[in-house]
Amino acid sequence: MKALVWHGKEDIRCDRVSDPEIQDSRDAIIKVTSCAICGSDLHLFHNFIPAMMPGDIMGHEAMGEVVEVGSAAKGKLKKGDRVVVPFTIFCGECDQCRRGNYSVCERSNRNKDLADKAFGHATAGLFGYTHLTGGYPGGQAEYLRVPFADATHIKVPDGIPDEKLLFLSDIFPTGWQAAAQCDIEPTDTVAIWGCGPVGQMAIRSAILLGAKQVVAIDCVPERLGMAEAGGAITINFMDESVIERLNELTGGKGPDKCIDCVGMESHVTMSLPDTIYDRGKQMLMMENDRPHVLREMIYVCRGAGVISIPGVYSGLVDKIPFGMAMNKGITFRTGQTHVKRWTDDLLRRIEEGQIDPSFVITHTVRLEDGPDMYKLFRDKQDDCIKVVLKP
Ligand SMILES: NC(=O)c1ccc[n+]([C@@H]2O[C@H](COP(=O)([O-])OP(=O)(O)OC[C@H]3O[C@@H](n4cnc5c(N)ncnc54)[C@H](O)[C@@H]3O)[C@@H](O)[C@H]2O)c1
Ligand SMILES: [Zn+2]
Ligand SMILES: [Zn+2]
């Protein structure tokens, strides 16, 4: 089959690889009808997250048709079922799964020993996302093997196009969880850094969850435009001071809730010396992450506020004003998304027309065009916001 394969830094190719096969009785094989490129894939593209190996298949946002089912998954899935595949692989039975904490499933990471060392306690397996999270082949491919498939799937009805459903795999529940973890109240100002696909979903989620005011921050005009169309007030951080503007918009109090939809690759701007410092350290491989947004959030957040962090960080972060956070009584919420915890509710919202997540798609191309699309998405050329691939 064809698949997008990681060969090293900024080197992803569309290769011919062997078709996946059932390896365990709980597996299923999916014929992928649509998949997408995520901002998290860019961290791998840049080789900022360790433990990728040449030959690894990329991708963790996929959906399609079940074409083969292992004997133990047969009660829950059958050939021909239409499913979206959550990017967090989960067993459905361990202590954490029973609590709904699917992204820290205790069984699905097959490289548990390595992950225990890296994280203190292993996290769940993820599709196409390094050997620290199981080294599972990803879904930017014609076929995908889904481990623990009797649990790890979202059944979706016919008659709704892929484009409306695909993002149940990741970015929609990710934006939703980021907002839900803020415990939004009707008086809240929610500030959201990053208007990429995740930021766009977080903006709509914060509004659906009843925020008084949502403020979105980025520097890319078409992304700010899309944020505004979704109901946010926008700040272009290249043109104005984020901190001054957020204080102005909140009568000097600061936002009650802050959401980081940027993560470890915050932009470098000449006017903010800490961003240059981070970039230098990252290039010298002295630091994995550029945590400018975290610093800005801790500074501007209202006392007793919440900082919610869906943005991915990979290792040690430098110069975090933790004393400021402690004295202001800030609550931090973070995590890879517990996708399945949210998707029954979110599928219902799509079916009822409360939201159509396809608004974020700017490019739909063949799988073979994937390698070029990584660059286009990274460089935000051609007004690119979200790429869907059709294997
Ligand atoms: N927690 C999860 O489960 C999960 C799931 C999906 C994605 N993510 C992470 O969410 C983050 C966003 O993903 P995406 O797909 O939207 O990526 P993206 O790269 O398209 O978007 C990031 C946006 O941040 C903007 N940005 C950069 N520096 C900024 C700054 N200083 N202030 C404000 N905005 C800034 C960029 O211009 C860009 O538009 C990534 O870190 C990704 O890894 C996490
Ligand atoms: Zn993702
Ligand atoms: Zn589990």
Label residue 276 exposed, middle or buried (CB < 10 Å: 0-12, 13-18, 19+).
Answer: middle
Beta strand pairing call for 257-260 and 306-309:
parallel
User: Domain end: 316, 334, 352, which one?
Assistant: 334
Indicate the number of domains in the chain.
2
Taking a 5 Å cut-off on Cβ, the residues next to ion ligand 3 are: 90-91, 94, 97, 105, 107
How far apart are the CA of 194 and the centre of ligand 1, in A?
5
236 and 341 both lie in a single domain? no
Q: Which of 227, 310, 202 is nearest to 236 (CA)?
A: 227
Domain containing residue 243 = 172-334
Q: Categorize the per-residue pLDDT at 176 as very low, low, confident or very high, splitting at 50, 70 and 90.
A: very high
The verdict on the CB of residue 336 being under 6 Å from ligand 1 is yes
- Verify that 202 and 279 share a domain, yes or no: yes
Last residue within a domain, chosen from 294, 317, 334 = 334
Nearest ligand 1 atom to the CA of 220 is 37
249 and 369 both lie in a single domain: no
Give the domain CATH number at 47.
Answer: 3.90.180.10
* Alpha-carbon distances of 310 from 215, 261, 353, 361, rounded to whole Å: 17, 6, 25, 20
How many other C-beta atoms can be found within 10 angstroms of the C-beta atom of residue 313? 18
Domain end position, chosen among 334, 353, 373: 334
In tens, the pLDDT along 262-317 reads: 999 999 888 888 999 899 998 888 888 899 999 999 999 999 999 999 999 988 89
DSSP structural state of residue 174: H
How much distance in Å is there from the Cα of 101 to the middle of ligand 3? 8
Q: What percent of the chain has pLDDT over 70?
A: 100
Is 122 in the same domain as 241? no
pLDDT exceeds 90 at position 22? yes
Whichever domain contains 231, its CATH number is 3.40.50.720
Is residue 172 within 6 Å of ligand 1 at its C-beta?
Answer: no
Tell me: do 209 and 241 sit in the same domain: yes
Residues 248 and 231 in one domain: yes
CB 77 within 8 A of CB 150: yes
Q: Is the pLDDT of residue 227 over 90?
A: yes
Same domain flag for 101 and 146: yes
- What residue owns the CA closest to ligand 1's atom 21? 196
- For 224, the token pair is 């700010």
**159 and 203 assigned to the same domain:** no
Question: Using CA atoms in the order 104, 108, 113, 115, what is the torsion angle rounded to 10 degrees?
Answer: -40
CA distance 390 to 264: 29
Ligand 1: distance of its center to the CA of 67 in Å? 34
Distance 292 CA to ligand 1 centre (A): 13
Give the DSSP letter string of 10-74.
Answer: TEEEEEE-PPP---STT-EEEEEEEEE--HHHHHHHTT-SS---TTEEP-S-EEEEEEEE-GGGT
User: Using a 6 Å cutoff on CB, does residue 293 contact ligand 1?
Assistant: yes
Mean pLDDT over residues 310-335, rounded? 95
Distance from C-alpha of 27 to C-alpha of 124, rounded to nearest angstrom: 16
Per-residue pLDDT tens over the stretch 92-137: 999 999 999 999 999 999 999 999 999 999 999 999 999 999 999 9
| DSSP per position, 326-346 | HHHTPEEEE-S--HHHHHHHH
Mutate to test the pocket of ligand 1, among 45, 312, 375 (most ligand atoms within 8 A of CB): 312
More confident: 229 or 281: 229
Asked if residue 76 has its Cβ within 6 Å of ligand 1, the reply is no
The contacts of residue 90 (CB under 8 Å, 6+ apart) are: 97, 102, 103, 105, 108, 124, 148, 151, 152, 340
Query: What is the distance between the alpha carbons of residues 30 and 28, in angstroms, rounded to a whole number?
Result: 7
Strand, helix or coil for residue 360? helix
The residue among 371, 379, 367, 386 whose CA lies nearest residue 64 is 367
Q: Are residues 142 and 254 in the same domain?
A: no
Do both 273 and 291 map to the same domain? yes
β-bridge partners, 213: 189
Cα–Cα separations (whole angstroms), residue 152 to 69, 108, 302, 385: 13, 10, 38, 27
The answer to whether residues 352 and 157 touch, using CB atoms and an 8 Å cutoff, is: no
Task: Break the chain down into helix, strand, coil percent, rounded to 5.
Answer: 35, 20, 45
> What's the confidence (pLDDT) of residue 269?
87
Asked if 159 and 36 touch (Cβ cutoff 8 Å), the reply is no
Residues 136 and 275 in one domain: no
Same domain, 7 and 71: yes
